[in-house]
Structure formats: C-alpha cells, structure tokens
Amino acid sequence: MSEKSYMGSHLREYGMIMALVAIVFFFTVIVRASIDVDFLSAQNITNLFLQNSYVIIMALGMLLVIVAGHIDLSVGSVVGFTGAVAAVLTVNQGWPVLAVIPACLLVGALIGAAQGYWVAYWKIPSFIVTLAGMLVFRGLTLWLLNGQNIGPFPRSFQSLSTGFIPDLFGDADQALLGMDRLNGTALLIVVAVALIVVYLGLRKRTQDALFGITPEPAVVFWIRNAIVCGALVFVGYKLAIFRGLPNVVMVLAVLTVIYAFFTEKTTSGRRIYALGGNEKAAKLSGIKTERLVFFCFVNMGVLAALAGMIVAARLNSSTPKAGAGFELDVIAAVFIGGASMAGGSGKIIGVVVGALIMGVMNNGMSILGIGIDYQQVIKGLVLLAAVIFDVYNKNK
C-alpha cells in the first residue's frame, strides 16, 4: 500500500495529530507576536497538564460509554459531588487521605452502578438517566456543602494534583550537564517512554508481517514516531528544567496505557466495540450486552470520582459550583478525538489527542485574553467541524 493511499484510509487518525501540532504552532507564534510570551515555556506546559488532567481522565471513561452507544451527562455533577464528599471526610471528619481516596472512588462506582442499572437492565435512554443524575448530584452537592466552600485540604491530599515526582538523582545530573536546575528522573522517564513507543511500533510491524497484514508504510511509520518521540522528549525536557513530572501526569500515563490495552487487547474491550456497532448482533452472538453497559457506567463513575478529587486538590477546597460544564469539555474531547456518534468506533490515543487539543485551545485563548464568550463559540465550532468531518468520512 502506498503512503498516499494509507494516509487517505487513516485520515482521521493522523489528521488529529497534525491538527494538534498545527494548533500548538499557531498559538506559539501568535502568543509570541501579541504579548511576547513563550507559549511553550516550562511553566505553561506544566499548567497545561495540571489544568486539563480531569478532562483526559474522564474522557477515557466517556469513550467506553460512547463506543457502547450511550452518553453520560452527569459527570460534571459527579465531579462536584465526590469533591464535596472528599472535603467533608477530610476536613470536617478528619479522615486520613489513604482512606478518603478509596471511599470517594467507591462513591463514584455506586453512582455509576445506580445509573448504569437503569440504562442496561431497564433500557431507559442514557440521555434521560444521566440528565436526571446531573440535576440530582448537583443538588446533593449544594446540600452536602450547605452552599459554602470547604477547605483547605492537607498537603498530602493536595499532592494528588499539585505534587511532583521527586528527583532520584539529586544534584548529580545537574552537575553532569552543567545546569542550575534539571530533574534527571523526569527526563529519564520520558526518554524511556519514547524508546518504548518505538519498540512497540516495530514489534507490531513484525507481528503484522507474520500474520500477512499489510503494515504501515515505513516512511509514514518513522515520520509519525519521529513527531511523537520528539514531542515527548521536548515536553519531558521542559518539565525537567521546571519542577519535574507532576503526579497527575504519571496517573494519566498509567491510565492511558491500561485503557489502551483493555480496548485493543482484551476480549471484553473488543466486545464493547461490537456492542456499539450492532447491539442486536452482539447479543445474538452470545455477548452479555447488559453487563457490558453496566460496566461502562460504573467505570465512568470511578473516573469521575478520581477527577473530582483532583479538581478539589487543585482548588484546595470543594465548591458548590465545581464541575459545572465539565461534561461538555469531556464529550467534545471524545468526539474531536475520533469517536463516532453512532458508537462502535474510537481509540484511546485519539481521545487523549482530542483532550489535548481542547486543553491547548483553552490555554492559548486564555493567555491571549479572549473572553469566555468567544471561547465557547470557538470550541463549539471546532466540535461541529469534527463531527461533520466524521460524517463526511463515513459517507465517503
């Protein structure tokens, strides 16, 4: 297969990567020209991850829900409610952080189970169930907080969002490279990840050849890996000369690997795609569709609870309005990342790229001083363009 025909058949996948690179380049030039600020500074890249970590975390779970042919509008309210539960347990009740984290994850799982039960076993449309959940848990958040903020959190809880991986090499790496500040652990981890990405790509090409599958053209493979690895090393270096790898970045990396493996390599993951592609056919083939739908909503509730704790830790307090509108950014990230409205298609890596596109746009527009009104208009148009592009590709 030629490079041109391969790129044409994988336009959506590579188009998102090119779009992310183009948007980053655009804001780098515009921000530098407008206000003489380095958009790719170490501090801004760190802030980009800290500010948008909740979107990526919830987008991983939302992808499974959407692939299964459903939607969850309650995630923003669940974020606010679990953040409020964490605040009450930590600040008011004095629970240790090691007990609060699993307790909040359990609360999220129970919320997901309650909603998934009605969707999976009673066949009530997920739009209605989760819309009701959005209202219910927003009200419960106001009740639990009594309309007031609760905080501050202990430093151990704040480290969920604002903590950084310590440098295991101390000052040795700084002396070796002659730099005043360098987190050698962060740089080493990112370089190792880049090498693993290349190794896994080469391994997949070898396996495809053994099974008679036409592999990705070599030129496309090496260009894509050069871009991805170059971006990883650049971001890693920027983080290393600032404060190192944030804890939340490590959480995101681990979750991304787990969910990518689950969706692509496990039987249950592939069955979720089969369910979204054709539920009746999946059921006739012996797949327990109700159980899978129930699992998707429980999983979404757990990830929303994790995001709620990270948001509360970043704000250092729980507020009645926390999580408002989050569901819109999460759903937009999933669709921009290549998921289909009809269900049955979408990739974890695409969702991460889509969330980063949303995060870069939010960050860039905020630095430029663009009002929230115009930001909403621009994000809405980008979402509409992504869906139109998806429909156009399917029709073509």
Its pTM stands at 0.91
Q: Which two structure tokens, joined as six digits, stand for 224?
A: 């894509």
Task: Report the pLDDT value the prediction gives residue 175, as an integer from 0 to 100.
Answer: 44
Find, among 100, 110, 52, the residue nearest to 78 by Cα: 110
Q: Is the peptide bond before 152 cis (omega within 30 degrees of 0)?
A: yes
DSSP 8-state symbol, 91: I
Q: Specify the CATH number of the domain 3-163+246-373+385-395.
A: 1.10.3470
Secondary structure element (H or E) that encloses residue 112, with its range: helix 97-121
Task: Report the pLDDT value the prediction gives residue 5, as an integer from 0 to 100.
Answer: 62
DSSP letters spanning 127-193 = HHHHHHHHHHHHHHHHHHHTTS-B-PPPHHHHHHHH-B---TTTTHHHHHHT-S---HHHHHHHHHH
Spatial contact of 323 and 317, defined as CB atoms under 8 Å apart = no
CA distances from 215 to 13, 200, 201 (A): 16, 14, 10
Spatial contact of 169 and 184, defined as CB atoms under 8 Å apart = yes
Task: Report the pLDDT value the prediction gives residue 362, as an integer from 0 to 100.
Answer: 87
Task: Report the pLDDT value the prediction gives residue 7, as an integer from 0 to 100.
Answer: 57
What b/e readout covers 119-153, taking b as 16+ CB neighbours within 10 angstroms? Answer: bbeeeeebeebbeebbebbbebbbebbeeebbeeb
SS3 318: strand
Q: Block means of pLDDT (10 residues each) for the chain, length 396 residues?
A: 59 75 89 86 87 90 94 95 94 91 96 96 95 95 90 88 79 47 82 87 82 78 86 87 86 91 92 91 90 96 95 90 88 86 84 89 88 84 78 68
Could you give the CA distance from residue 311 to residue 304 in angstroms, rounded to a whole number? 10
Task: Report the pLDDT value the prediction gives residue 211, as an integer from 0 to 100.
Answer: 80
SS3 286: coil
Q: Which two structure tokens, joined as six digits, stand for 253?
A: 């990396």
Could you give the CA distance from residue 189 to residue 187 in angstroms, rounded to a whole number? 6
Task: Report the pLDDT value the prediction gives residue 177, as an integer from 0 to 100.
Answer: 45
Task: Report the pLDDT value the prediction gives residue 178, as an integer from 0 to 100.
Answer: 44
